[in-house]
């Protein structure tokens, strides 16, 4: 019998059983969940980073691609691979260095985006060609992401992605999975030029350290579930723009991450490039409100190590 593997099945990683959780303050998180339940579905939304938050950072033991490196078509030539990895090796240490002033860092990040987007533009993709490159890329969305998206769709929960990556690619992933209705993607985009080629860059460029600017002044729901893999992702939603916030952090490589800083900034940490199952459980706790039995609620709390 021939088994048909759907695009969604190809895109989603298998369950990663080496994940584990850290909850810096279980009491505080439980209280927050109660506040979210009391506020109700209409006052709730998700705000999230995309690269290495929705996607796994390792794919079959190798460093995964980002929405930008996918479009850079790294498989096209060895020379191009070298240029791209040189850029990553030069700019990543700057991006994660906490000693560098944010303004200076932002300039470096803009320089990085200018160089790396120039590589994408060289290929002069039309929409279909870009989609083909994405289809051929070896990317894993986290296990359980489809359930998380389905719950949000069913309950009409808005999801805002704020990414310094490439919006065209992020958008295509979610369309491939069949989810699009309740999503907004704030990212860098390639727009079509007069010849129907994707060569025009959206302005201003969104860079990782300036994500806090993206939603500034925008009316958000009062209760926000925020997800990210970098500590700077915590600043995507600024104080004053929410009443309550639950921050879920993905620590993809606990050996190299500054765990203390992650624990200071996030309410729930998923370590070792884990799954979306815990996110689904937290969502169920928030959204089921008072319909479920105490038993079901306690089971979810128990599964999350919260009681
Ligand atoms: Mg990220």
65 located within any domain = no
Distance 13 CA to ligand 1 centre (A): 17
Distance 125 CA to ligand 1 centre (A): 25
Distance 293 CA to ligand 1 centre (A): 36
Distance 10 CA to ligand 1 centre (A): 21
Distance 78 CA to ligand 1 centre (A): 26
Window from 43-47, 225-229, 282-286 with minimum mean pLDDT: 282-286
pLDDT tier at 291 (50, 70, 90 boundaries)?
low
pLDDT digits (tens, 9 = 90+) for 172-188: 999 998 887 789 999 99
Distance 239 CA to ligand 1 centre (A): 21
212 located within any domain = yes
226 located within any domain = yes
Window from 39-43, 76-80, 140-144, 147-151 with minimum mean pLDDT: 76-80
Q: For residue 153, what are the domain limits?
A: 7-56+140-303
Please tell me the total count of domains within the chain. Answer: 1
Distance 209 CA to ligand 1 centre (A): 11
128 located within any domain = no
Q: What is the pLDDT of residue 116?
A: 93
pLDDT tier at 303 (50, 70, 90 boundaries)?
confident
Query: Is the separation of the CB atoms in 233 and 46 below 8 Å?
Result: no
Angle, helices 277-287 vs 26-39, to 10°: value is 50
In this structure, how many other beta carbons lie within 10 angstroms of the beta carbon of residue 175? 12
Distance 285 CA to ligand 1 centre (A): 25
218 located within any domain = yes
Q: Say what percent of the chain tops pLDDT 90.
A: 77
Q: Say what percent of the chain tops pLDDT 70.
A: 95
Question: How many helices (H) and strands (E) are present in the chain, helices listed first?
Answer: 11, 11
Q: What is the mean pLDDT of the chain?
A: 91
Q: What is the pLDDT of residue 88?
A: 93
180 located within any domain = yes
Task: Give the residue among 34, 23, 29, 27 at the shortest CA–CA distance from 297.
Answer: 34
- Exposure b/e, 247-259, CB count within 10 A at least 16 = b: bbbbbbeeeebee
pLDDT tier at 194 (50, 70, 90 boundaries)?
very high
Distance 8 CA to ligand 1 centre (A): 21
125 located within any domain = no
Is the pTM for the entire model greater than 0.75? yes
Distance 140 CA to ligand 1 centre (A): 14
Distance 1 CA to ligand 1 centre (A): 40
Distances (CA, A) of 14 to 22, 228, 304: 22, 20, 20
What CATH code is carried by the domain that includes residue 204? 3.40.50.1000
For residue 168, the 8-state DSSP code is H
pLDDT tier at 30 (50, 70, 90 boundaries)?
very high
Q: What is the pLDDT of residue 297?
A: 74
Distance 123 CA to ligand 1 centre (A): 25
Query: Is the separation of the CB atoms in 233 and 49 below 8 Å?
Result: yes
194 located within any domain = yes
Q: What is the pLDDT of residue 73?
A: 82
């Amino acid at each position: 019998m021939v088994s048909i593997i759907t695009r969604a099945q190809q895109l989603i990683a298998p369950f990663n059983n080496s994940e584990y959780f850290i909850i810096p303050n279980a009491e505080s998180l439980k209280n927050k969940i109660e506040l979210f339940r009391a506020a109700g579905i209409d006052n709730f939304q998700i705000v999230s980073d995309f690269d290495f938050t929705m996607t796994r950072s390792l794919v079959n033991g190798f460093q995964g691609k980002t929405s930008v490196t996918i479009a850079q078509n790294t498989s096209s030539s060895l020379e191009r691979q070298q240029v791209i990895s040189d850029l990553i090796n030069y700019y990543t240490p700057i991006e994660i260095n906490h000693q560098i002033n944010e303004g200076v860092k932002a300039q470096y990040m803009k320089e990085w985006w200018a160089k790396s987007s120039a590589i994408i533009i060289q290929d002069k993709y039309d929409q279909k060609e870009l989609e083909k490159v994405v289809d051929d890329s070896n990317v894993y969305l986290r296990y359980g992401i489809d359930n998380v998206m389905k719950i949000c769709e069913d309950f009409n929960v808005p999801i805002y992605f704020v990414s310094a990556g490439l919006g065209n690619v992020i958008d295509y992933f979610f369309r491939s999975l069949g989810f699009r209705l309740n999503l907004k993607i704030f990212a860098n985009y390639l727009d079509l030029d007069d010849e129907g080629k994707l060569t025009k860059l959206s302005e201003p460029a969104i860079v990782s350290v300036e994500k806090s600017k993206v939603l500034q002044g925008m009316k958000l729901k009062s209760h926000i579930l925020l997800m990210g893999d970098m500590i700077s992702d915590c600043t995507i939603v600024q104080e004053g723009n929410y009443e309550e916030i639950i921050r879920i952090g993905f620590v993809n490589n606990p050996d190299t991450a500054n765990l203390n800083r992650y624990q200071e900034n996030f309410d729930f940490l998923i370590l070792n490039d884990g799954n979306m199952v815990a996110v689904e459980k937290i969502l169920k706790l928030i959204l089921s409100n008072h319909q479920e039995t105490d038993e079901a609620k306690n089971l979810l709390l128990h599964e999350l190590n919260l009681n």
